[in-house]
């Protein structure tokens, strides 16, 4: 691990904690997740995670996390006791209360004890991996929890959870195995849900689903209208929220604000005085349990062009687009100076909010934004303003 890493101190990064265990692997999953290990493994993991958190907070002099996100894997595959060890380490390290603290939960492993723990800490938001509320769709996806467990989880939350609730749904299944999105929405208790993340199913090489199906003839649902008509605003490619309920934590990714990721497989974006870096933790549980941060941390310094393209790529995912002031501050040039040709070609498809100082892709261009990035990339290849 490069020693210059430790020059980057005094940041207030968002915190992401990766819990890599799941009760079983879903057929479409290519994330770093491990079938549930023994209790001993999970306890050893918890201790390693707390050590890693304390190591980075000390070295980077972090004393505040604006937002916290505990994701996975399945965080609720840990016992409430293990989660409490992690939560109290975060509370000790972070000091001030975060603005938002999210925990990912899965219906089949969520318990009343988990909810009591969340209420004892400043957890403000749960994100539940529902994926589908239709039995044949869940079977097609190889989701382990039954439909009954999904209804039971909604019931448990309705009675015992006062914070915000987000759910994940997957669309793009074949017609023979799925309902229309609007039919699924009609079956969900939307009055208790403030946020929906809607992902397209993708067939990742080597997953059981890809091996089983080869390819998928996806249902052609009309999105965002179905969700918007139920009071959710579309604010990012895959995300919809009732007004004021956008994910603050995920927003820090899209805004390229610093974040610290801990746990095997997690990534970070960290800033120094005049440099930036991606740091990742190798997805290797054994190394994580036995090694020191120096052994499992990898660091990469993206070039200015790569970092700029990443700003475009992340920022334009948001319906509100990117901050022009931030581009100028971070790159020392205005957007117009960096990619004048691309902005010219796409002029009719861009919308500027002068008051907020943001530039966005209009409704048509929003869904074909890859073409915009390709044009920007080609322009920077032919004339690099950062050279
Ligand atoms: S619950 Fe999520 S992380 Fe775990 S196997 Fe299923 S898709 Fe992967």
Beta bridge partners of 280: 267, 298
pLDDT tens for residues 340-376?
999 999 999 999 999 999 999 999 899 999 999 999 9
Nearest protein Cα to ligand 1, atom 2:
73
> What is the DSSP pairing of strand 100-105 with strand 125-131?
parallel
What are the domain boundaries of the chain? 3-254, 303-387
- From 18, 19, 20, 22, the mutation candidate for ligand 1 (largest count of ligand atoms within 8 A of CB) is 22
DSSP conformation class of 218:
B
The answer, yes or no, to whether any atom of ligand 1 lies below 6 A from the CB of 279, is no
The more confident residue out of 70 and 293 is 70
By CB atoms closer than 10 A (0-12, 13-18, 19+), residue 215 is exposed
pLDDT value, residue 357:
97
Model pLDDT, residue 387: 82
- The DSSP secondary-structure symbol of 194 reads -
Tell me what the pLDDT averaged over the chain comes to. Answer: 92
**Does the pLDDT of residue 144 top 80, yes or no?**
yes
pLDDT in tens, 148-202: 999 999 999 999 999 999 999 999 888 888 888 999 999 999 999 999 999 999 8
Mutate to test the pocket of ligand 1, among 18, 31, 77 (most ligand atoms within 8 A of CB): 31
Q: Residue 6 has what pLDDT?
A: 47
User: Is the confidence at residue 7, as pLDDT, over 70?
Assistant: no
Q: Is 13 in the pocket of ligand 1 (CB under 6 A)?
A: no
Ligand 1 contact via 29 beta carbon (within 6 Å) = yes
**Do 161 and 198 meet the contact criterion of CB atoms below 8 Å apart?**
no
Give residue 8's pLDDT band: very low, low, confident or very high (50, 70, 90): low
Least confident interval from 32-46, 108-122, 146-160: 32-46
Neighbours of 272 (CB within 10 A): 15
- DSSP state at residue 97: P
Question: Is residue 179 packed enough to be buried (19+ CB in 10 Å), middle (13-18) or exposed (0-12)?
Answer: buried
Which tens digit of pLDDT belongs to each residue from 250-279? Answer: 999 999 999 999 999 999 999 866 678 888
Count CA atoms closer than 13 A to 35's CA, side-chain side: 5
Find, among 299, 300, 282, the residue nearest to 291 by Cα: 282
Strand partners, 270: 277
Quote the ligand 1 centre to 144 CA distance (angstroms): 9
pLDDT of residue 110: 95
Instruction: Quote the pLDDT of residue 130.
Output: 97
pLDDT of 333 over the 90 cut:
yes
Picking from 179, 234, 167, 171, the residue whose alpha carbon sits closest to that of residue 202 is 171
> Could you give the maximum distance between any two Cα atoms of the chain, in Å?
59
- Whole-number percent of the chain with pLDDT over 70: 96
| 143 Cα nearest atom in ligand 1 | 6
CA of 25 to the centre of ligand 1 (A): 6
Q: Is the pLDDT of residue 29 over 80?
A: yes
Residue 309: pLDDT over 50: yes
Q: Is the CB of 25 under 6 A from ligand 1?
A: yes
Contact status, residue 248 vs residue 99, Cβ threshold 8 Å: yes
Distance from Cα 148 to the centre of ligand 1, integer Å: 18
Question: What does the block give as tokens for 26?
Answer: 């879903």
Sign of the C-alpha dihedral computed for residues 88, 89, 91 and 92 taken in this order: positive
3-254 topology per CATH = pyruvate-formate lyase- activating enzyme (3.80.30)
Does residue 92 contact residue 68 with C-beta atoms inside 8 Å? no
Q: Of all protein residues, whose CA lies closest to atom 7 belonging to ligand 1?
A: 29
Please, which residues bridge with residue 12 across strands? Answer: none
Q: What is the pLDDT of residue 2?
A: 42
Q: Whose CA is nearest to atom 8 of ligand 1?
A: 29
- Is residue 74 within 6 Å of ligand 1 at its C-beta? yes
pLDDT digits (tens, 9 = 90+) for 210-255: 888 887 777 777 667 889 999 999 999 999 999 999 999 999 999 9
Mutate which of 23, 29, 130 for ligand 1 pocket (most atoms within 8 A of beta carbon): 29
């Amino acid at each position: 691990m490069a020693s210059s890493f430790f020059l980057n101190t005094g940041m207030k990064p968002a915190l992401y904690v990766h819990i890599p265990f799941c009760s079983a692997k879903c057929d479409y999953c290519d994330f770093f997740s491990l079938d549930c290990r023994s209790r001993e493994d999970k306890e050893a993991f918890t201790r390693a995670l707390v050590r890693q958190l304390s190591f980075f907070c000390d070295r980077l002099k972090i004393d505040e996390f604006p937002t916290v996100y505990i994701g996975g894997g399945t965080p609720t595959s840990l016992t409430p006791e293990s989660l409490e060890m992690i939560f109290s380490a975060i509370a000790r390290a972070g000091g001030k209360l975060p603005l938002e603290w999210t925990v990912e939960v899965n219906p089949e492993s969520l318990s009343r004890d988990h909810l009591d723990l969340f209420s004892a800490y400043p957890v403000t938001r749960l994100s539940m991996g529902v994926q589908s509320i239709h039995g044949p769709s869940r079977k097609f996806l190889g989701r382990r929890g039954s439909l009954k467990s999904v209804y039971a989880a909604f019931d448990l939350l309705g009675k015992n959870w006062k914070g915000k609730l987000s759910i994940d749904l997957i669309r793009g299944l074949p017609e023979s195995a799925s309902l229309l999105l609007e039919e699924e929405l009609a079956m969900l208790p939307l009055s208790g849900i403030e946020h929906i993340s809607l992902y397209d199913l993708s067939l990742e090489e080597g997953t059981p689903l890809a091996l089983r199906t080869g390819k998928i003839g996806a249902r052609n649902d009309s999105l965002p209208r179905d969700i918007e008509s139920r009071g959710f605003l579309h604010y990012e490619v895959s995300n919809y929220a009732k007004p004021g309920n956008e994910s603050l934590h995920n927003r820090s990714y899209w805004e390229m604000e610093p974040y610290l990721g801990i746990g095997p497989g997690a990534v970070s974006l960290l800033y120094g005085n005049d440099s930036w870096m991606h740091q990742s933790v190798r997805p290797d549980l054994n190394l994580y349990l036995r090694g020191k941060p120096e052994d499992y941390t990898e660091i990469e310094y993206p070039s200015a062009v790569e970092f700029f393209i990443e700003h475009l790529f992340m920022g334009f995912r948001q319906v509100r687009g990117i901050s022009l002031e931030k581009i100028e501050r971070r790159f020392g040039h205005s957007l117009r100076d960096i990619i004048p040709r691309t902005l010219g070609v796409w002029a009719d498809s861009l919308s500027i909010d002068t008051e907020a100082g943001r530039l966005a892709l209009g409704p048509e261009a929003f869904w074909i934004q890859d073409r915009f990035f390709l044009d920007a990339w080609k322009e920077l290849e032919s004339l690099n303003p950062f050279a």
